Structure 1
Amino acid sequence: MKSPFRTVFLKAFLAGTKAGLVTSLPKRLLVFGLFIAGMPGLVLHAHATMSTNADTIAAAESNWSASDWAKVPPVRPMPRPGMFAKPPARAGYASVLDLLAHVQPEYFPDPGRGYYSLWDQVTGNIRDSRPVSPYPPFALMPTSAYDIDFRYLENPDHEKDIFDPVKRIHLGNDWLLSFGGSFWYRYMHETDSRLNAAGRNNDYHLIRTRFHADLWYRDNLRLFAEFIDARSFGPELAPLGIDRNHTDILNLFADYKVGNINSSPLYMRFGRQELIFGSQRLISTLDWANTRRTFQGIKSFWRNEKWDIDAFWVRPMKTEKGEFDNWDRRRDFFGLWTTYKHDKDHLIDLYFLSLNDNRPVGGTFLGNTDILQSTAQGRTTMLGDSNVHTLGGRLVGDYNQILYEIEGMYQFGKWSNLDVSAFAVATGLGYDFQMPLNPILWLRYDFASGDGNPQDGNVNTFNQLFPFGHYYLGYIDLIGRQNIHDFNAQLTLHPKRWVTFLAQYHRYYLANKRDFLYNAGGVALLGDPTGQSGSHVGDGIDFLVNIHVARHHDVLVGYSKLFSGNFIENQRPGINPDLFYVQYNFRF
């Protein structure tokens, strides 16, 4: 007889049907509440199933103790990003994504006595050391909620917080339950938004609410569910697909411990899940988006002190504003990602990724010069049915005050009847000055190939897959990692422990002037198949300031501008877009 709890869980877990009758907000919240209530029932069912091997269960019970909870969950800190920095000699974080990854304690030794938030400064609360906090002191957080580390709460001497009672609730000796969530509000003002020919501006507001429940049976079985509600108000242009997702499931998965390999656990994860790997140039949660990015499928993962190994098969989720999201049956994404951790300062990523995309092509500006030329010549058969494979590797590290990173990516496969051959490179050198204000300076170069000959039967435009381009190629999101040269520099300062200032400069050129300019989402914005519009896209600047108000509160203020070069000016005369934004973020 099937458990009714299991039935409820599986219906939400698969989320493959459109919940057409559940359209109102109260009903959808009720479904989510029933799902949360059904989590323990599924765990009990799974536990009853495992009891068929009585000897194994009895052995596990005899070996489990209260001290083992200090290792649960076996979270994975956010991978060391690009434009990282060695910990400064003085207090503070040296890059934005270093700051976001602050849960990796080996990167950030105790910087000493001082104020660690605006509230500390106002109240005169001088701390002897950096407070233990699982969340980064920054308004953006690419790390998934299920990898936030609250294990310090097992220490009875930890610093107390108002939300401790909803964290790591022990249900007897074998069960652990946690709740958490976040809320943000962002105001956006865009001038010449999206390079539109009319030069229209766009003022609007974004809000996002997330809530999650996390249930563990020892370290053997985990059930994790995360709700999201993302809304947009008052836009002058049509909202983007990443702006809205009304009352839906962001993460919904089960982890099962298969066993131990060399004393380290091997897990299988089934269900809806976020993915984040390496520098995030190819696979990211895309936290800047109001909706975040998520997938559905299967992942196995194994970690020890030297190696992280992940293998997965997933499909991207299609965001459907007014209905429950469904996975994209026309896209399959699988891969193998390995990270070798030589030591805390030197890492190597090696990976193979494959994206099979069977979506039909329905227009000319879809990412390839061949499509434009075929249409211009009157051919009615549009290209589609692509199978693109990516081989890549990355070296990242530091030596004394010198910082370095290099990542190379090569792609091959088929796009309809055309051969794919494309590549991308990201390189950079940084320097930690170890002086007042903690300045860190990076000089970098990014390249992604484009298609220069639409008649040669090849596709040479790099496919950026599922990236966090916002951080690397400019916060205005008009430049993607496709057909682009980007010469850029970044300066980060920390005038206070609770203040982060970042400035970026970019000079953009098309890798091939007969291919398109692609935005951060991989959408082709402008193109000139003759190449007569030139290759200089423009010059971009980005400034942002983050104020860490208190443990749960951050405020981010930013300004970005793109000064058009001859390529944009020849197609959109007088268009010079800019972006101003203010964001407040709360987490618990």
Structure 2
Amino acid sequence: MRTIGHLAALAALCAATAAGAAAGSFGKTFRYDDDFSALCAPGARASAAAKCLPFGRTSYLSLGADLRLREEAADPPRVVAGPAGRDAYLLRRILAHADLHLGAHARAFVQLGNHQARTRNGAPKATDRDGTDLSQAFVDLSMRAGGGRLTWRLGRQEMNFGAGRLVSVRNTANARRSFDGAAAILESGAWDVRAFAARPVLTRAAAWDDIGDQSQALWGVYARGTRAPALELYYLGFLDRRARFAGLTGEEQRHTLGARWTATRGAWDADVEGTGQLGRFRDADIRAFALYGQGGYTWRGLPGSPRLGLRADAIGGDRHPRAGALGTFNPLYATGTYFGQNGLFAAANLIDLAPSLRVTPRRDLMLELSHALLWRYSARDASYTPALTPLVAADAAPSRRIGTQTQLAGSWRVDRHVLIETALLHFAPAAFARAGRARSQNFAMASLDLRY
């Protein structure tokens, strides 16, 4: 009953501002990117509600909230050997934020979150539960820089780069990922550049107890071109004092260099990203890589504008575990559902080939069917989960074939305030996974997002 009450209350708020600006829609990754300054005009105040509470001549406060209910069901609950049985559970995320603008050059953004999970079998995931806590809390100081704008940001903040293959907000999990740190953000006509240094925030189950992880650090520079075709260039430094590989624990320091190119020309679209990693783990040198590629062709003149796509990825694994070098790629803080909504596989020691068919009967409705074939890059390395925990041990079998995943996913943007998503997925293990006593898995997900 309490969840229904939250849902009804937020739905009422959404309806009250249905005539508001589209800046608060689900098209934005971060709520701090919403811009409701236009609603401060005298003629717009009647419909602005709490989106613009002006004071003074150039200052205003904007309030907002998000509610997500996500139901997941998996049968069996684990791919690796273990007790069979259906597992169904509800994930609930509530976020509320206040965005204070003090003139054109100063700003404070605070977002509170409450996350709960119900009826999951066994121990919950670390991201399932978090009592009321600070999801974000930062201040911005901005100034003109040449023909652009330079912003200094300090505090707890969310970050997501590119397609989220290395740094993401982890939106599909119940608790999104945030970082404690500082950033300098330069927005110019041709490039947006961010230099930063931060620590990931540890999600803890109690209230007001989330802190920065003192064992890990992330720093770097990410540059994104603003003109099509778009080019992204980045360097990411990473430190983990308690890293684990091949049963060993020690300090890991990685330096990641990469580039991403995205383009659309006529009916064709493409997304290509290449990444290399150097560094040290204990006494071993790190030499790893990842190549991502996807593209497609859209028949816009046909009903549903069908798009035939293909994704192909090759991500390094350790070919010589005893040769004093580590070849396993580390996806750092990547999205956990790049290879499927069930979140089984990490971008490490993996090759996949995934054709897909997408249809959009309406602009707000999308259905996509994909079928992924999965192999190990190295037969001497394990298959990993997103936490870089071995899913199937390296010596389970000499075969590289992990299995196949078939997924049917859909989304419906009812309006700018309501989003419905669903997915059905089936994993079928092949020779390597079966040798590790893996079973097939059926997975289903449905979520409802309300945004005010």
- Normalised to the residue count of structure 2, the TM-score between the two structures is 0.91
- What is aligned with 1:579? 443
The answer to whether structure 1 residue 192 and structure 2 residue 76 are counterparts is: yes
Kindly report which structure 2 residues correspond to 1:94-173, keeping only aligned pairs within 5 A, or say none.
133-136=22-25, 143-154=29-40, 164-173=48-57
**2:268 pairs with one of 379, 402, 426:** 402
Offset of residue 170 of structure 1: 1.1
- What is aligned with 2:165? 281
Kindly report which structure 2 residues correspond to 1:71-470, keeping only aligned pairs within 5 A, or say none.
133-136=22-25, 143-154=29-40, 164-197=48-81, 198-257=83-142, 259-323=143-207, 324-341=209-226, 343=227, 345-359=228-242, 366=244, 368=245, 371-372=246-247, 382-434=248-300, 435-470=302-337
Offset of residue 157 of structure 1: 7.2
Offset of residue 132 of structure 1: 5.3
Answer yes or no: is the 8 Å Cα contact 1:514–1:527 preserved in 2: no
Going from structure 1 to structure 2, the CA distance change for 1:260 and 1:498 (only over 3 Å counts) comes to closer
Offset of residue 280 of structure 1: 1.3
- What is aligned with 1:535? 400
- Normalised to the residue count of structure 1, the TM-score between the two structures is 0.70
Offset of residue 199 of structure 1: 2.6
- What is aligned with 2:340? 474
Letter in 2 for 1:200: G
Offset of residue 263 of structure 1: 2.7
Deviations 1:536-574 (A, max 9, x none): 11110111222333442222222111111111111125x
Question: SS of the counterpart of 1:134?
Answer: helix
Answer yes or no: is the 8 Å Cα contact 2:198–2:218 preserved in 1: yes
Q: Distance in 1 between matches of 2:397 and 2:239?
A: 34
Q: Distance in 2 between matches of 1:196 and 1:449?
A: 22
Q: Distance in 2 between matches of 1:580 and 1:236?
A: 16
- What is aligned with 2:378? 512
Answer yes or no: is the 8 Å Cα contact 2:80–2:392 preserved in 1: no
Deviations 1:331-351 (A, max 9, x none): 11100111123x2x3111111
Going from structure 1 to structure 2, the CA distance change for 1:202 and 1:479 (only over 3 Å counts) comes to same
Question: SS of the counterpart of 2:354?
Answer: strand
Question: SS of the counterpart of 1:569?
Answer: helix
- What is aligned with 1:83? none
Letter in 1 for 2:273: E
Going from structure 1 to structure 2, the CA distance change for 1:150 and 1:174 (only over 3 Å counts) comes to closer
Offset of residue 433 of structure 1: 1.2
Going from structure 1 to structure 2, the CA distance change for 1:385 and 1:142 (only over 3 Å counts) comes to farther
Deviations 1:512-555 (A, max 9, x none): 122111123332211133x6251111110111222333442222
**2:434 pairs with one of 558, 565, 569:** 569
Going from structure 1 to structure 2, the CA distance change for 1:566 and 1:332 (only over 3 Å counts) comes to same
Deviations 1:265-293 (A, max 9, x none): 21111110001111211111111010000
Answer yes or no: is the 8 Å Cα contact 1:211–1:226 preserved in 2: yes
Going from structure 1 to structure 2, the CA distance change for 1:196 and 1:135 (only over 3 Å counts) comes to farther
Q: Distance in 2 between matches of 1:349 and 1:475?
A: 26
Question: SS of the counterpart of 2:310?
Answer: strand
Bigger drift between 487-496 and 383-392 goes to: 487-496
Percent identity between the aligned chains? 26
**1:487 pairs with one of 353, 365, 387:** 353
Answer yes or no: is the 8 Å Cα contact 1:334–1:355 preserved in 2: yes
Deviations 1:291-339 (A, max 9, x none): 0000001001010221111000000011111141010111111001111
Q: Distance in 2 between matches of 1:544 and 1:401?
A: 22
Whose Rg is larger?
1
Aligned Cα root-mean-square deviation (Å): 2.2
Letter in 1 for 2:362: K
Answer yes or no: is the 8 Å Cα contact 1:546–1:555 preserved in 2: yes
Question: SS of the counterpart of 2:434?
Answer: helix
Answer yes or no: is the 8 Å Cα contact 1:142–1:285 preserved in 2: no
Going from structure 1 to structure 2, the CA distance change for 1:468 and 1:535 (only over 3 Å counts) comes to same
Point out where structure 1 has 5 or more consecutive residues left out of the alignment. Answer: 1-119, 121-129, 373-381
Question: SS of the counterpart of 1:195?
Answer: coil
Q: Distance in 2 between matches of 1:501 and 1:157?
A: 40
Answer yes or no: is the 8 Å Cα contact 2:397–2:431 preserved in 1: no
Offset of residue 151 of structure 1: 4.0
Answer yes or no: is the 8 Å Cα contact 1:202–1:237 preserved in 2: no
- What is aligned with 1:93? none
Letter in 2 for 1:272: R
Offset of residue 203 of structure 1: 1.2
Q: Distance in 1 between matches of 2:316 and 2:45?
A: 51
Going from structure 1 to structure 2, the CA distance change for 1:194 and 1:150 (only over 3 Å counts) comes to farther
Letter in 1 for 2:91: L
Bigger drift between 507-516 and 306-315 goes to: 507-516
Going from structure 1 to structure 2, the CA distance change for 1:460 and 1:160 (only over 3 Å counts) comes to farther
Going from structure 1 to structure 2, the CA distance change for 1:160 and 1:507 (only over 3 Å counts) comes to farther
**1:553 pairs with one of 405, 418, 432:** 418
- What is aligned with 2:11? none
The structure carrying a bigger helix percent of its residues is 1
Q: Distance in 1 between matches of 2:260 and 2:356?
A: 20
Offset of residue 458 of structure 1: 0.2
The structure carrying a bigger strand percent of its residues is 2
Offset of residue 237 of structure 1: 2.4
Answer yes or no: is the 8 Å Cα contact 1:450–1:482 preserved in 2: yes
